[in-house]
Amino acid sequence: MRIFSNKLFFLFILAIVLAGAFYWYEWRPHNIKIHCTYAAIERSGEKAQGKNFETGVEVYDFYYKKCLREKGL
């Protein structure tokens, strides 16, 4: 019975570590990129209104990269 308990404990710890790794390397960056995309679209629309297309793209890129840096990516 002791061996079963050790295996179960090991599997439990392994599941927690894998879930944490999935969150940190997959789920978190995905959500940050989505948030930064919407934030950059909103900010670039306010700043580049009435300007040409290239300026709007440059403003979007600036705010997108700024947001990613602020969030830790």
How far apart CA 10 and CA 50 sit, in angstroms, is 60
Q: What's residue 23's pLDDT?
A: 96
pLDDT tens-digit readout, 60-72: 899 999 999 999 8
| Mean pLDDT of all residues in 25-45 | 93
Q: Where are the domains of the chain?
A: 2-71
pLDDT, residue 52, reads 62
Amino acid letter, residue 50:
G
Asked if residue 73 lies in contact with residue 29, where contact means CB atoms within 8 angstroms, the answer is yes
pTM over 0.85: no
Task: Count the residues in the chain.
Answer: 73
Question: What is the per-residue pLDDT for 18?
Answer: 98
